[in-house]
Amino acid sequence: MKAVCWFGREDVRVEDVPEPTIQNPRDAIVRVTSTAICGSDLHLYRHYIPTMQKGDVLGHEFMGEVVEVGTAIESLGPGDRVVVPFPIACGRCWFCRRELWSLCDNSNPNAWMAEALMGHSPAGLFGYSHMLGGYAGGQAEYVRVPFADVGPLKIEADTLADEQVLFLSDVLPTGWMAAEQCDIEPGDVVAVWGAGPVGQFAMRAARLLGAERVIAIDRFEPRLALARRHGMETLDYSQVDVHDALLDATGGRGPDRCIDAVGLEAHGTGLLARYDQVAQAVRFETDRPIALREAIVACRKGGTVSLAGVYGGYVDKLPLGAAFNKALTLRMGQTHVHRYLRPLLERIRLGDIDPADIVTHRLPLTQAPHAYEIFQKKQDDCLKVVLDPAA
């Protein structure tokens, strides 16, 4: 079968690889009908995430049709149309039983690698390094889904196209959780750093959860324009001083809730942004926390900073003193996707959210290398690429 494989920094190729097989009784094999490139895939593409191996199959946003199930699977059968959450969760450990799905204790066979870096291991993820399981990803014609009785969401309604439900696998719940963990109150002003797919959904979620005003911060005009179309205010960080602009926009209070939807590859202006690029290049830090720094400093006293963008390692010059002295609440984590699947599917069905309008490119899987390149370089106004393995 065809699959998108990682071979090094900015080197992905479509290769012929063996088809996956059932390995455990709770597995399923899914024929992928749609798969997307996530912003966090770019961290792999740029090789910022350790423990990748040449030949790894990428992709953690995908959906498709079940073609085979293991002997212990009763809730699914061949022909079922499913969306698959990117974290792999057993459904039975202490964390899964508390709906902390992305912290599953049992789905990472290479937990020791994550423990060496982080002290404990989060859940295994599809196509996202050996430290996080080494599972083959879904940018392929077929994918093996472990614990298929827990993760995949069956899509019964034929009226919903793939693009309307595909993003339940990651970016839509990720944006939603970023807003939800802000504990938004009526009258709140929410600032969102990054108007990529996660940022777009975080803004819409903040609105649906009661925010009075939402401010998008980015430098790419098409992304800011999309935010404006949904009623958000916008700031172009390449044109204004973000801190001053946010204070001006909030009567000097600062945003009540701040969402970092950028993560470890943040860009910025000024000396500190240049410092981050150098520090990351010489491995003095692994991540560039420019958006996070700005969020902590801008957030109003007693406010909340919520992290949805991925961080992978170590950062420098984090203003923890500001966070402490302003009594901020910091919330973060890989998304507990399973928790949000059904409620968000219902919102899609009701028309509260239309996820499909973030899609800018629809390409055959075979054009994945080109897709990664234009997404990484933000060429052709690329915001979201959906790949079709059958095309």
Instruction: Catalog residues that contact another protein under the rule CB under 8 A.
Output: 1, 3, 5, 7, 13, 15, 17-21, 23-26, 53-57, 72, 90-94, 105-112, 115, 124, 130, 133-136, 140, 142, 144, 146-147
| Cβ nearer to another protein, comparing 319 with 369 | 369
Q: Select 127 or 199, whichever has its Cβ closest to another protein.
A: 127
CB contact burial 45-74 (16+ within 10 A = b; e otherwise): beebbebbeeebbbbbbbbbebebbbeebe
- Cβ-based neighbours of 351, under 8 Å, separated by 6 or more: none
- Nearest distance, CB of residue 16 and another protein, angstroms: 9
State the DSSP code for 37.
E
Residue 57 CB, nearest approach to another protein (Å): 5
Residue spans of beta strands (DSSP E) within 38-140: 56-57, 61-69, 81-84, 87-88, 124-125
Q: Which is nearer to another protein, 91 or 222 (by Cβ)?
A: 91
Shortest distance in whole angstroms from residue 90 CB to another protein: 4
Closest to another protein by CB, 9 or 92: 92
- Residue 387 CB, shortest distance to another protein, in Å, is 16
Helices (H) and strands (E) in the chain, counts: 13, 18
CB-wise, 53 or 325, nearer to another protein?
A: 53
Q: Quick one: 133 or 309, whose CB is closer to another protein? A: 133
- Shortest CB 202 distance to another protein, Å: 31
* Distance in Å, CB of 123 to another protein, minimum: 10
Contact 149, 91 (CB under 8 A): yes
Q: What are the Cα distances from residue 296, in Å, to 193, 235, 314?
A: 11, 17, 17
Contact status, residue 295 vs residue 235, Cβ threshold 8 Å: no
- Six-digit token string for 360: 């800018």
